[in-house]
Structure 1
Amino acid sequence: MLEVESLHKRFGQHVAVDNISFQVKKGDAFGLLGPNGAGKSTTLSMMTGLLIPNSGEVRLDGHRLKDEPKYLKQRMGLVPQSIALYENLTAEENLRFWGQIYGVTGAKLRDNLDWCLQVAGLTEHRKQLAKRFSGGMQRRLNIAVAMIHRPEILIMDEPTVGIDPQSRNHILETVKTLNREGMTVIYTSHYMEEVQYLCQRLAIMDNGELIAYGNLEDVRQLAGARSTITMQLSGEIGDLTRQLEHDMTFQNVQVEGDTLVFQAQNAAVAVSRAVSIIANQSCELQKIDVAQPNLESAFLHLTGRRLRDSVGEAGDQG
């Protein structure tokens, strides 16, 4: 359905997206996963015509974006990372405005508007000004606006950033339902658990490159049989990292504040050895968590570090 071929984008000397290619099938829930600054938002901007790539192209059902931009844009709905609403308009007025921009009018606009409000759980708030909404409600209205023209593909760029758990769950369930009903969804996030919950296929980006691509289970298995062990510590960690790195039992050792993370083929042996080493340090073990191979494990295996939640780099927020 949607083909991304050799997309490349640079800002000055900085390469934000480095010749990436992937395909999204009709009815897919496709995840684009990676840390802030990985190039996700830049990729989506090129896919939707908001940015022109330095090279490469995007095709929808064989139609090239650069040749037929209107054809593609009418079939896509974009939920941007930043809220894109008119705060002094009501929820209903925002939807009506954006529907008319897409050329939706009359009875179709009224029907679409009612449907969007219902999906977003905002029917009872349709006459309320957007600026009176909570952050979570604004996010939900942002999604409703992206669907006002009933797109074939819904593209969502970090739609749950900075909102409360209740709104986050509502958005995730909404996306799940829309996809189950046949809408193709492209979902970007740096939250592993969201992509694992929503998506059957995915691509992982880091530093502008595609480092993994395929079915969820195939990507998850890139970590092999390695478990990921997380240990919460207190006190002085000292040279603990160095000691663990010199022991072949542990792979991808990291210390983040008071948290120790590593991978191991045999979790039981690794935990036992780590506890023994920690006992000779000026710190105490507070908590242990052992996770079987998952997307976090795969990312750690591929990059040597955990999926970070860092500040986006110039030219790209994600």
Structure 2
Amino acid sequence: MRFATDPATCVRWPASFGRRFLVTVDVEEEFDWSRPFSGAARQVAAVAALPAWHVAMRDRGVAPVYVVDHPVATDPAAAALIAPLLTDGSEAGAQLHPWVNPPQVEVPGELASFAGNLPESVEAAKIDELFGALTAAFGRAPRLYRAGRYGLGPATLRLLAGRGIAVDASMRARFDYRDHGGPDFTGVDGAAFRTVDGVIELPLSVVYTGLLHRAGRWLHPVATRVSRGGGVLARTGLLSRVPLTPEGTPLPDAVRAIRRAARDGARLLQLAFHSPSLVPGNTPYVRDAADLAHFHRWWGGVLDALERHGFAPVTLDEVIRAV
């Protein structure tokens, strides 16, 4: 399924909103990303690293949104670690990993890992189970949703609207997951917009940089169909596609992307990562202590760059009220 930004539906932020950024964290189980999807992968030990990271963010005025999935919400120890963080603007959103979220009636696999590919009744039942678990764990229904693996489908936004979700944050701007059976977001440019179902979409921020950045929307998808085409463009400084995440994005690239976003008039950026990256060995991005030190330095450098270019932190509540 293809999604695209319609300029007519883009949110018109009030002048008082300024330039802002939101940080979301996929709070989820640890699993081997190279192995088949399994409903038994429910270990959530890495959640214990969240409070220390949260304190560092709060010291910089950032109120993260913790996008929590079923294994975390239903683990009493993990939920007890997260609950004290949900103050001063931080709150818990919902993240659906179908392979570990009841009812588990589908055959696990890559296609079924995108919840939007499931029959509507199954996707709806999984959403209801997740929302119920989050409400029981934290005393409040979620207001923001993310489909794991960015797996939106034709019914998802309508299902969310009917359950009171104000904001969806499932679209990863500029990325195409069709080769894996998922959706295509190459037509999504990163600006917040109103969906036909009334839910506000806040895409994860991905910025084109380089001499040919203005042609990125059509040039990058064409180049990546050619062997090593995207790499050649990036190495020559002509065009890079830069996700605003510490997972796989070098700090200098992120700083250049923030500068470019400011020059292009971006009003709201969304930065994100997966909570297992806070403990070495859980994700390909943080394999050892050196990688973890680099991860924390990335946040320091990026927060400095955001401040330098006039982006201030925002809470989810402030976003909803501004819309």
TM-score (structure 2 length as normaliser): 0.30
Say which structure is richer in helix. 2
TM-score by length of 1: 0.30
Structure number with bigger Rg = 1
